[in-house]
């Protein structure tokens, strides 16, 4: 363990040292220096393996917390990890099934389709038809992908989490981090990584997602082939399309990026507000736009869950954001477990008011990340503990905003949520339990309009 | 349950449609609210609700017209969500069984060696 730690430190130092000449030994201008350090860190992360690559991805979707240079570098790492030789992948498959790829699939492509942090993905075709949990039957010969956990990934990730803690401290001191706590981020990250190592969890969620969105032809996810899946191997439908990093190609092919950005954001709101389960790892490599003008969600490795109670309270916080109502935001955040000590309430409310007023960008659209992440750090400044689910949700919303903006820079994510929160609050009014609670108010409001 | 309430409002709205200009105005405001949204406060919210009911009303109207023409009501009856949920859970169970079956095959293959 000690030796792994020193490998980590040595690797990082070596790559930072290699960056010294381009940083002109610290004499170059700040952006040039930061770019050189960022490149060094990215190379070190790639060398150090899965846990670090995953950490890099996390950084790449938080432009609000890290410098532009670091985000740009880490983004280039998102999906490009040096591939493992096919032999290594074949032997994992052999160990899992007691049979080789040639017996399990009609064809198996030794050339990887993608090599990501935890898994490597290969194309294959089905030997026989399979009726998935939800959706149409996949015929024999159907294009599938086989996602295989990298051998040794589990062990090395567990070992590296410990080492990464040191590094997180190091990053905090390089001013590459803006206003966040890398160690806290890492804790959250460690708990979610564990679940990601069993691919069946991911497969089940993909099925569930297909069911949840069964009435929405614009939102798709891969169908899972269960007889060819284990904890370390997941066989699923091959999805055709462009990653969000290849958006220019998609536009050229006539994909309606604005429509998809709005639709994708709405689909996310639906996951949060209606189903209470949401894809919490939406970095740009995990989302495709397809030639059929649909959005394909991939990689359900990290998922957030919300109770109906929490959903209602979150809807109210969103409504507060729309109304710019600091009191409402405070009241419902309290119900979500954000306990502000009495002597801090006034200060937090004032800070919140400023935030709510400042969420409008120069072009008139609203900036959710500014509000959400600003709220988190406001709470942090006042020593308020943030419930982990709340943090994950706000970060996910901020990510969705980032992803939607990649598709269409002028999108206002708060505006896309508005008709939606209206609907949710409206539907909640029809809920018998709530009706009893709110009847007089609802009736009065309805009469006011209906009889105007 | 929610659907029933909406349907009730829709029916109410349909019968009052001709008479009530105020309602039409509210629906119009609610429809436009897609972009302007709830910034107008509780009133805009109620407008939004009215627009939702209006949508439901259009559906109801189509149903009734179809029925008047003596057609088999072809509109997709919104399926019972509880039943759908069970259907999914059964399907999911089948997926798990498929998975376990393949695990057994793997064990047999390994024993054969
Ligand atoms: N069903 C699919 N159809 C097409 N391409 C796929 C599919 N599943 C995965 N891929 C490709 O493989 C890449 C890696 O897959 P995935 O994101 O599932 O792996 P991962 O190891 O969990 O990645 P991450 O680095 O996000 O943790 C995806 O970004 C995508 O390009
Ligand atoms: Mg991925």
Given a contact cutoff of 8 angstroms between Cβ atoms, the answer to whether B7 and B78 are in contact is: no
Last residue of a domain, one of A208, A238, A268: A238
Cβ of A79 closer than 6 Å to ligand 1, yes or no, is yes
Residues A17 and A64 in one domain: yes
DSSP for A10-57, written as a single string: HHHHHHHHHHTTTTGGGTS-HHHHHHHHHHHHHHHHHHH-HHHHHHHH
Q: How far is CA A446 from CA A309, A326, B50, in A?
A: 24, 26, 8
Q: Looking at residues A364-371, what average pLDDT do you find?
A: 74
What is the per-residue burial (b if ≥16 Cβ within 10 Å, else e) of A252-261?
A: eeebebeebb
Residues A307 and A223 in one domain: no
Same domain, yes or no: A400 and A292: yes
**Does residue A178 carry a pLDDT above 50?**
no
Residue B71's alpha-carbon distances to A439, B55, B60, B62, in angstroms, are: 38, 22, 14, 11
**What residue numbers bound the domain in which A120 lies?**
80-156+195-238
State the pLDDT at residue A419.
60
Highest mean pLDDT pick, A40-54, A166-180, A389-403: A40-54
> What pTM, to 2 d.p., does this model score?
0.70
Phi-psi region of A302 (alpha: psi -120 to 50; beta: other; left: phi over 0): beta
Quick one: pLDDT at residue A95?
A: 94
Show residues of chain B in contact with A421, CB under 8 Å.
Answer: 38
End-to-end CA distance of chain A: 74
Rounded average pLDDT over A137-144: 98
% of chain A exceeding 90 in pLDDT: 22
Domain ranges of chain B: 1-77, 78-113
Closest CB to A226 among B2, B99, B110 = B99
Question: Residue A151, CB half-sphere, CA atoms under 13 Å: how many?
Answer: 13
What per-residue confidence (pLDDT) applies to A435?
43
Residues A69-102 pLDDT 10s = 887 788 776 555 678 899 999 999 999 999 999 9
**Dihedral angle at the C-alpha atoms of A68, A73, A79, A81, nearest 10 degrees?**
-160
Shared domain for A37 and A15, answered yes or no, is yes
E runs forming strands in A126-192: 143-149
Looking at the predicted structure, is the pLDDT value of residue A20 above 70?
Answer: no
Q: In the prediction, which pLDDT does A1 show?
A: 44
Protein residues placing their CB within 5 Å of the ion ligand 2 = A 286, 299
Residues A234 and A253 placed together within one structural domain of the fold: no
- Pick from A386, A338, A27: nearest CA to A181: A386
- Reduced DSSP (H G I as helix, E B as strand, rest coil) percent helix, strand, coil of chain B, to 5: 85, 0, 15
Q: Nearest chain A residue to B5 by CA: give it.
A: A430
Rounded distance from Cα A116 to ligand 2 centre (Å):
7
In the reported structure, the alpha carbon of residue B16 is separated from the centroid of ligand 1 by a whole-number distance in angstroms of: 54
Residues A288 and A183 in one domain: no
pLDDT tens sequence across A408-420 = 777 777 666 666 5
Q: What is the mean pLDDT of residues A99-109?
A: 97
Query: Which pair of tokens denotes residue A72?
Result: 């740009």
Residues in CB range of B27: below 8 A, 6 or more apart: B47, B50, B51, B54
Confidence category of residue A146, pLDDT binned at 50, 70, 90: very high
Q: Are residues A95 and A135 in the same domain?
A: yes
Among candidate residues A167, A194, A221, the one where a domain is terminated: A194
- pLDDT tens profile B8-51: 555 555 555 544 555 556 556 656 554 444 445 555 555 555 66
* A353 min Cα distance to partner chain B (Å): 16
Phi, psi at A296, each rounded to 5°: -105, 125
My answer on whether A86 and A188 are in the same domain is no
Cα gap B49→A109, rounded to integer Å: 53
Q: What is the pLDDT of residue A434?
A: 46
Which segment, A267-271, A327-331, B93-97, is predicted with the most confidence on average? Answer: B93-97
Same domain, A232 and A94: yes
> Which chain B residues have any C-beta within 8 angstroms of a chain A C-beta?
1-2, 4-6, 13, 16, 20, 22-23, 25-26, 33-35, 37-39, 41-43, 45-50, 52, 88, 91-92, 94-96, 98-99, 101-103, 106-107, 109-110, 113
Ligand nearest to C-alpha A143: 1
Q: Which positions ≥6 away from B105 have C-beta within 8 Å? A: none
* Rounded CA separation B111/A124 (Å): 27
Any idea which of A67-81, A311-325, A376-390, B51-65 has the lowest mean pLDDT? B51-65
Q: Which residue has the higher pLDDT, A111 or A437?
A: A111
- Tallying the residues shown for chain B, one arrives at 113
What percentage of chain A exceeds 70 in pLDDT? 74
* Pair A222, A187 in one domain: no
pLDDT at position A142, please? 98
Instruction: Report how many domains make up chain A.
Output: 3
Band (pLDDT 50/70/90 cuts) for residue A193 is confident
Mean pLDDT (chain B, rounded): 67
Residues A319 and A393 in one domain: yes
C-beta of A119 in contact with ligand 1 (< 6 A): yes
**What is the number of alpha carbons within 13 Å of residue A429 lying toward its C-beta?**
25
């Amino acid at each position: 363990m000690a030796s792994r730690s020193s490998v980590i430190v040595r690797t990082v130092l070596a790559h930072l040292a290699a960056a010294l000449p381009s940083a002109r030994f610290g004499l170059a201008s700040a952006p040039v220096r930061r770019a050189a350090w960022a490149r060094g860190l990215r190379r070190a992360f790639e060398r150090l393996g899965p846990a670090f690559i995953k950490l890099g991805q996390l950084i790449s979707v938080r432009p609000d917390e890290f410098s532009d240079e670091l985000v740009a570098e880490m983004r280039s790492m998102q999906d490009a990890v040096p591939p493992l030789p096919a032999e290594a992948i074949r032997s994992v498959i052999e160990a899992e099934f007691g049979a080789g790829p040639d017996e399990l699939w009609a064809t198996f492509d030794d050339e990887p389709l993608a090599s990501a942090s935890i898994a490597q993905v290969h194309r294959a075709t089905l030997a026989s038809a399979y009726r998935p949990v939800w959706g149409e039957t996949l015929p024999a010969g159907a294009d599938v992908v086989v996602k295989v956990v990298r051998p040794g990934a589990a062990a090395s990730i567990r070992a590296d989490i410990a080492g990464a803690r040191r590094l997180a401290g190091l990053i905090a001191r390089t001013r590459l981090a803006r206003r966040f706590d890398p160690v806290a981020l890492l804790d959250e990250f460690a708990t979610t990584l564990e679940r990601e190592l069993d691919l069946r969890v991911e497969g089940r969620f993909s099925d569930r997602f297909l069911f949840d969105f069964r009435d929405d032809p614009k939102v798709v996810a891969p169908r899972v082939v269960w007889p060819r899946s284990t904890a370390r191997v997941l066989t699923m439908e091959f999805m055709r399309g462009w990653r969000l990093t290849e958006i220019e190609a998609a536009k050229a092919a006539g994909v309606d990026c604005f429509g998809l950005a709005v639709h994708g954001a709405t689909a996310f709101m639906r996951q949060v507000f209606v189903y209470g389960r949401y894809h919490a790892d939406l970095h740009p490599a995990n989302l495709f736009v397809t030639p059929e003008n649909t959005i394909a969600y991939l990689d359900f490795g990290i998922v957030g869950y919300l109770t109906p109670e929490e959903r209602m309270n979150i809807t109210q916080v969103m409504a507060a954001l729309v109304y710019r109502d600091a009191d409402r935001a405070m009241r419902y955040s309290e119900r979500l477990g954000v306990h502000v000590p009495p002597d801090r309430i006034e200060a937090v409310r004032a800070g919140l008011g400023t935030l709510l007023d400042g969420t409008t960008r120069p072009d008139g659209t609203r900036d959710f990340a500014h509000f959400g992440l600003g709220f988190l750090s406001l709470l942090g400044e006042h020593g308020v503990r943030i419930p982990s689910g709340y943090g994950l949700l706000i970060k996910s919303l901020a990510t969705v905003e980032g992803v939607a903006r990649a598709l269409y820079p002028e999108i206002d994510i708060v505006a896309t949520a508005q008709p939606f929160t209206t609907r949710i609050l409206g539907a909640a009014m029809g809920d018998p339990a709530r009706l009893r609670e709110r009847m007089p108010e609802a009736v009065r409001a309805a009469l006011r309009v209906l009889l105007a | 349950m929610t659907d029933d309430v909406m349907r009730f409002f829709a029916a109410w709205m349909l019968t009052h449609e001709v008479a009530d200009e105020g309602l039409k105005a509210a629906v119009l405001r609610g429809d436009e609210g897609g972009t302007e949204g709830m910034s107008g406060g509780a009133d805009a919210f109620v407008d939004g609700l009215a627009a939702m009911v209006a949508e439901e009303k259009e559906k109801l109207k189509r149903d009734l017209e179809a029925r008047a023409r003596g057609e088999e009501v072809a509109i997709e009856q919104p399926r019972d969500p509880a039943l759908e949920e069970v259907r999914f859970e059964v399907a999911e169970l089948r997926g798990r069984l498929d998975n376990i079956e393949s695990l057994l095959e793997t064990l047999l293959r390994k024993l054969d060696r």
